[in-house]
Structure 1
Amino acid sequence: MLRFAIAGGGLGGLTLARILHRHDIDAVVYEREASRSARAQGGMLDLHPESGQQALDDAGLTGRFRSEARPEGEEHRILDPAGRTLVHHTPQPGSFSGRPEIDRSALRDLLLDSLPGDAVAWQHRLVAATPRPDGGFGLTFDGGHRADCDVLIGADGARSVVRSLLTDTRLSSVATLVELSISDPDRRHPDLAELVGPGNLWCIGVNQILAAQRLGDGSIRVGISLPPDARHMDAYRSKRALLDMFDGWAPGLTALIEAGGPPNPRRIEAMPTGTRWAHRPGITLIGDAAHLMPPVGEGANQAMLDAAELAAEIAANPTDPDSAIQNYEEAMFARIHPIAEMSARVQAMMLSSSAADQVVRFFTPRPTESASAD
């Protein structure tokens, strides 16, 4: 029996393992974290019907997804720096017809709970994969652990170790993101709880965005998006410095920064649009390892769809994984190219000098769409 190894226990890797398991194909997920609760998993995701939700359907998890998802999280407000509302989208109550939100941690737990207990090897950070003379790969993990596999799938994210075996593509910085968290806002900061509402809030200025979203536990995740900057990330760890960047904005908006916990800055990177690699037997990539894009709503969805499509190909060709991988790669390259181009355009638009006008046009339905906008 072929041994499948999946490097990375994020949403893509777990979705792949789950769908393979449904087809009685065993795979081991090697995950660098020590446990599912080792670190926070980030904010909310809106799962798209044609990608993320489709993958969960293939995984047999639609019912569980709907029990965890929050359709009300689709509410979306866009404000200007003075606090004036530019766009306010309110979803149909209780409807799953759009893109219901779900906490990333809840979605990951849902996938983990659907797998056998031994499907994930925790605390296994892949540091090297070496081709074996008779095919397959020898895997080396931090701490000296070793394993062998016949097929290796890199689902190991932006800094993928597996990617280096297929392409030397370089990442480029596309933005700076600073995140803060506000705990128990309903009791401690009721004005901010009302401002953010149950979904997403974007406050758009010139070359800067102050955003917030309500998570399933009631907390508020605040995100500050800025153009890419050569400065050291420590420059963004001061609340005073961040508030200075938003000087002149309505105090009711900058209160999101004041109420937040310690700022956590990081660089947002992307792979060049149109990245491909020559097929190589027994190895491929999914998700950010394959096509790291700006975070404008497609990354997790496409990673999960990658997983579903690759799993379907493997299930249809269980004794010929190379054909399965080739079929998957060609379809994935064709699918991702326009999505990556769109993501790059949206990212540039969001941090442009005329962002507010462009974003309002982008999110305002045309007259012929208004009847079905929700």
Structure 2
Amino acid sequence: MKLDSKVFQPDEFLAQYWQRRPCLLRGGFAQFEDLIEPEILAGLAMEEDADSRVVRRAVNADNSSSWQVEHGPFSDYEAFGDSHWTLLVQSVNEWLPAVGQLLTAFDFLPQWRIDDVMVSFSCAEGGVGPHLDQYDVFIIQGAGRRRWQVGERQNMTNYQPCADLTLVKEPFTAVIDAELEPGDVLYIPAGCPHDGIALEPSLNYSVGFRAPSQAEWLQQLGDLALQQDVLNQRYQDPDLRSRKSSYQVSDNELQQCKALLMQTLESGQLDDLLLRLMSQSKRTLVEPDLPYTAQQIDDLLAQPQALLVRSAGARWLYHQPQQAFYGNGERYLVSPQSQPLAHKLAQQTEHPGADLLTQVNTGNDRELLAELLNQGLFQLFLDTD
């Protein structure tokens, strides 16, 4: 899938809008057809492993709103009525490959930054209230119509009208106030207040982007460093002198602690840890019941309709200075002979077996494919599946 070049140019968008101001792309996807039916989404929200919730809004006599959030799995939806509620399901791209194809429209952005595709279905008057997100998001309108109001980035006061729902207290001036129709795309930078209300039963697809905070990075890096048994240098103070007040921390000691941490930030080991984190999948990847071997690869790729597909939610990243690929938290030192194959796998999500056969020329190539399949980063579909 691609955004319509008549209304969207990546370089122009990045220069003028990305993380600067909201943007509405009318007809961003020309002749857009829904990638999921509301009934299928409702069925997915009945699954134990699906991350789903329903947000309900009741209009009070004074025209104020009361809110309620319920988490799945759901058994039925009749109790919610015919209006004023929204069903939201996270990471639908990891359940349905058709929804995952939506991500290919945003391949002008770094792969590691993409988080997931959340899909929501709203009855008339459904919405989740005016709020801020701490990440950038593209919202694609599917079936139905929804009115969106979006403000410029600003400091606002958050409050929780009920558990698991955070809204903004103050009203905001909308710089975008529009009714979205199928195929329209709304870009909202992090920190911009927004509110969407369905005018009729509607589907929306939200492509969100990872934006880890400093604290989140540090916590994850620390956990990963312990797992990898790296960054082991300890604090030392060989020039320590006796003091009268043992409870005081000297500025020199504080600077020594900071210097130790700064050495970590400048080390090559930190580069490796960050790349591992960037490549981690949001959900556990499914490994094959029986491991593949390098000896099987040619025969498998030669089968009619064989198709190699990057697993939903998997990332296959490359860092040129380290000459290394990364996937799901692991580092792969690919041989020079297999570099073209590894890059080909990174550039597309799907590869017909017949096409790959022309690229698989060495034992290293076959071993690489077998390892990626066994780690669940890629899956091989045959016409017997």
TM range (shorter): under 0.3
The answer to which structure, 1 or 2, has the higher relative contact order (CA under 8 A, 6+ apart) is 1
TM-score by length of structure 1 reads: 0.21
TM-score by length of structure 2 reads: 0.21
